[in-house]
Amino acid sequence: MDAKSFKLKSMTQNDVQLETSHLILRRNKKEDAKQIHENVRRPEDRPWVYAIKDSHKLQDSIDWIEKNHEKWESREAFQFAITLKETGEVIGGSGIHSINWDHRRAEVGYLIRRQDRNKGYATEVVKALLDYAFNELKLNKISAKMYAVNEVSAKVVEKCGFKLEGTFRKELYKDGIYHDELRYGLLRKEF
């Protein structure tokens, strides 16, 4: 990754902030709950997201932030709010999760609110997460998984160098339909 396109603002575990050309990725705050809820409250805002309930309530966003703070402290996951550099507005969420320190691997995930999609932000986010995961956390492998019908997300990870490692047939169930899941991987030496 080009050093100009990503900058690590702080390295204390509790205060990590990643900066890209247009975005700042920072730890979620309780005050973010209302904007997070607004970004994901309708099913069309999160068509292929794994972990959000169909009946998403404001309390779900509050609980999610609290749960992610616990995971941050235990180093199980690092969940970031995606904010616009110019305004500080929360436009999504991203993270390094399912961290396995014994095997030095983890997964990345991301969600950009509907009105800010197709602007290249997801690619910026994934590149910043990869740089942090490989160069600061010293992980060896990062995975990404998605619904096979989520072609946009597949293009994002492919732009970032991920390789398709497999298709898991009818692995996911959503809206009464079984869906295939794609699993991608990227090794530190490939980054």
d(CA 110, CA 153): 9
pLDDT band at 108 (very low <50, low <70, confident <90, very high): very high
| pLDDT score recorded for residue 6 | 44
CATH number for the domain running over 3-140: 3.40.630.30
- Beta pairing, strands 105-112 & 141-147: parallel
pLDDT band at residue 160 using 50, 70 and 90 as cut-offs: very high
3-state secondary structure of 84: strand
Position 49 scores a pLDDT of: 66
User: What's the confidence (pLDDT) of residue 98?
Assistant: 95
Q: Is the separation of the CB atoms in 27 and 81 below 8 Å? A: yes
Q: Note the pTM of the prediction, 2 decimals.
A: 0.86
Q: Beta strand pairing status for 141-147 and 163-174?
A: unpaired
83 DSSP β-pair partners:
24, 90
